[in-house]
Structure 1
Amino acid sequence: MRRLLDALYDGAAWLAALFMVALLIAVLLSILGRQLHFNIAGIDAYAGYLMAAAGFLALAHTLKRGEHIRVTLLINALRGGPRKALELWALAAAAMLAALFAFYSCRLVWQSHAFHDMSTSNDATPLWIPQLAMAVGTVVFALAFIDELVLELRGQRARPASGEVLRNE
């Protein structure tokens, strides 16, 4: 199960990286279009979709690598049981919020598909298509938080080294 979850997080990160490369290409095409006097309809909207997809799909991988910003002032002052209790509370609350975020993201995709929502820009893209990356990203993010919570309950959660914490705070 551990290898499957890690592969899921890595796969989402690779997909996010692919979307970032596609975003770069879209921006370069837009710049070239302005310089060479041609227009690709909807390129700005697609760049926005690609940026959102990259951001949402990278959430879980970033969490699992300890790169999300955490305010550790209080937790670093605690030791033993109180520290573990606070970690468990924070992870449980985050897992619940991430699960709600995933639920409502998936619901938005379903509603956009059911109501045939279209982009209001000149690309006229069905909105459920770009929203799908958000839904997938939030579901994987919720799984990552649940994974972190289970690891903390089992006492298997990786603790960053003391110098390692400083790089993301």
Structure 2
Amino acid sequence: MIIRTIDKVVGRVGDLSFHLSLLVTVFLVVAIIWEVVNRFLFGTSSVWVSEVSGYLVASILFLAAGRVYREGGHVSMSIFIDMLTGAPKFALLALIDVLVLGLALVVGYATYDMALLSYQLNWRSSTTLAMPLFIPQMFMPIGAAVLALEAIRLLVRNICGVCRTMQGAQA
């Protein structure tokens, strides 16, 4: 019961992060259209669009990573997984989940440390916009945390799959 509740909560957090990345994508498209219209119709350029669009792309990638991993939408070499069935397949998937979890924790720690340092030292971009760098950087540890939660969620599911197939083989 408690595992199902945690599973639902983590799924909703992953979905929320993904939907936030969709909103950021819409904003990115609108900003680029704005820039194109400004350049061609008015012969002027916005100071913020080129800088902010780079930050938005990074935000989209990190915020969507958890859900993309959950749905298997990432690039993978599934030839070995497709060759396996039962407990060995679940065990290999669990190993992959452990590796993804490790990567997410390392990336999360490093990007959190970077964003915190940027905040503490009040670092700003060197462009005219002079945006505080911690603002776009904070989406990276958030996305890494969501990816870690999704990896844990899938790890538990795959371990349960190993247990179920082992029990089925003994019966």
> TM-score normalized by structure 1?
0.85
What is the aligned residue count? 156
Partner of 2:52: 46
Compare 117-126 and 77-86 and name the one that shifted more. 77-86
Task: Summarize deviations over 1:89-136 as a string: whole Å, max 9, x none.
Answer: 222112111111111111111011112111122210010001111221
Percent of counterpart pairs with the same letter? 26
Q: Equivalent of 1:15, from 20, 25, 31?
A: 20
Deviates more, 1:75-84 or 1:34-43: 75-84
Matched letter for residue 42 of structure 1: W
Q: Which range moved further: 136-145 or 33-42?
A: 33-42
Deviation at 1:81, TM superposition (A): 4.1
* 1:83 corresponding residue in structure 2: 89
Superposed displacement of residue 85, structure 1: 3.0
Counterpart in 2 of 1:124? 130
SS in 2 for 1:155: helix
Runs of 4+ in 1 over 2 A off after TM superposition: 75-88
Q: After alignment, is 25-34 or 74-83 more displaced? A: 74-83
Amino acid at match of 1:9: G
The reply to whether residue 3 of structure 1 matches residue 8 of structure 2 is yes
Q: Distance in 1 between matches of 2:63 and 2:81?
A: 28
* SS in structure 2 of the partner of residue 66 of structure 1: coil
Distance 1:151 1:15, change over 3 A: same
What letter corresponds to residue 38 of structure 1 in structure 2? T
SS at match of 2:34: helix
Tell me the secondary structure at the aligned position of residue 138 of structure 2.
Answer: helix
Q: Distance in 2 between matches of 1:148 and 1:5?
A: 10
Structure 2 stretches lacking a partner, 5+ long: 1-5, 163-171
CA contact (8 A) 2:108 2:145 kept: yes
Provide the C-alpha distance between the structure 1 equivalents of 2:91 and 2:145, rounded to a whole number of angstroms: 25
Aligned twin of 1:161: none
- Confirm or deny: 8 A CA contact 2:62 2:143 kept in the other structure: yes
Greater mean deviation of Cα atoms: 76-85 or 145-154? 76-85
Match of 2:167? none
What RMSD over aligned residues (CA atoms) do the two structures have, in Å? Answer: 1.6
The structure with the largest alpha-carbon Rg is 2
Q: Which residue of 2 aligns with 1:148?
A: 154
**TM-score, scaled relative to structure 2:** 0.84
SS at match of 1:70: coil
Amino acid at match of 1:149: L
